[in-house]
Amino acid sequence: MYKFSFQSDKEIKKDIVLISRIIRENNFDIIALQEVFSPNALERLLDCLGRYEWEGIWDSPRSFSSISSEGYGFIWNKRRMRLAIATQSNGIQKTFRPHIYNQYRVDKQLGQRQLIRNPYYARFEPLDGAFCEIRLINTHIMFAKSSSSTLLDISAVAMRKHEFDILTQSLYNTIADKRYGNNRPAYTIILGDYNLNLKGSGAVGAFLNEIVTVQDGGQIKRLITIQDKLTTLKTTKAEELEPGESFWANNYDHFTYDMDRFSSLSVTAERINTVKNYCKEDYELHRKTVSDHVPVVLNLNLK
């Protein structure tokens, strides 16, 4: 959301009406947001969307770096989705509240350390009769560190890859394999801003592996990362672009899931070109009023 806060400044002046329009017109069921700097900002967006139809929640992880502090948000269409509900042994129903997730292992021998910015975990149930659960790991992998940080003495790109390894090799299994009393089939997805590119995207460097294998006891999971379109906008001014030069920069926004677990479903991902569709190709206006990223969407057919 590019520094989405309650107040604007000279660099950023969010158009809440436009952002709400993008959400409504693209018929999203659940929206996972990164860089939401205050709960008040999310409240403004919910007010504009209409609370009769939309619900949302915000939280912020403990910051392990002076430049990593920010929050996450989830917004969902409450006519189609709800937070997961479990019936306890005493018959009382309990709603699962999204929370910052910090229960995972790290392998220090591989250079891993705790994630600089822990992800935001939520569980959702569809209301259309599909008996399943959608588990979302909303993440924003740390782009860089301040020069004074002593957390990890490696390059910024290597640090991002270590964080991606923690998310896929450790944290994903912890969440995906957990079972609750309702025993609904669960589909777990990592999603968000990885600050890493897929090789087929045309981006330059900072690549992640499209498919990774994960050891889970005696099992091997194959996790695939999809969405290979460029999604971030250059900071270059429009008049400074070379003739024919694109305003697209990097392929940072992705979805990651278990290939075998999702094999019976229809899964597609796409970029929504909100610069073209909502800002008349004015990418500087988009950066200022919407974000320096465009949305990506995962279409999941549960039928």
- Average pLDDT over the chain, rounded to an integer: 89
- The arithmetic mean of pLDDT across residues 220-230, rounded, is 96
pLDDT tens digits for range 57-111: 999 998 765 555 689 999 999 999 999 998 777 778 889 999 999 888 777 766 5
Please say if the pLDDT value at position 273 is more than 90: yes
76: β partners: 30, 55
Nearest-angstrom CA–CA distance, 171 and 164: 10
- The arithmetic mean of pLDDT across residues 24-33, rounded, is 96
Please say if the pLDDT value at position 149 is more than 70: no
For 121-139, letters b (16+ CB in 10 Å) and e give bbbbbbeeeeeebbbbbbb
How far does Cα 65 stand from its chain's mean position? 20
Would you state the pLDDT for residue 129? 75
Domains of the chain as residue ranges with CATH: 16-301 (3.60.10.10)
Does this model's pTM top 0.85? My answer is: yes
pLDDT category of residue 151 using cuts at 50, 70 and 90? very low
Nearest-angstrom CA–CA distance, 201 and 158: 19
- The arithmetic mean of pLDDT across residues 148-168, rounded, is 76
pLDDT category of residue 150 using cuts at 50, 70 and 90? very low
Would you state the pLDDT for residue 148? 44
Q: Are 1 and 43 in contact (CB under 8 A)?
A: no
Stated length of the chain: 303
Phi, psi of 24 (to 5 degrees): -65, -45
Please say if the pLDDT value at position 147 is more than 50: no
Phi, psi of 286 (to 5 degrees): -65, -45
Q: Count CB atoms within 10 A of the CB of residue 211.
A: 10
Please say if the pLDDT value at position 153 is more than 50: no
User: Whole-angstrom distance between the N-terminal and C-terminal Cα of the chain?
Assistant: 32
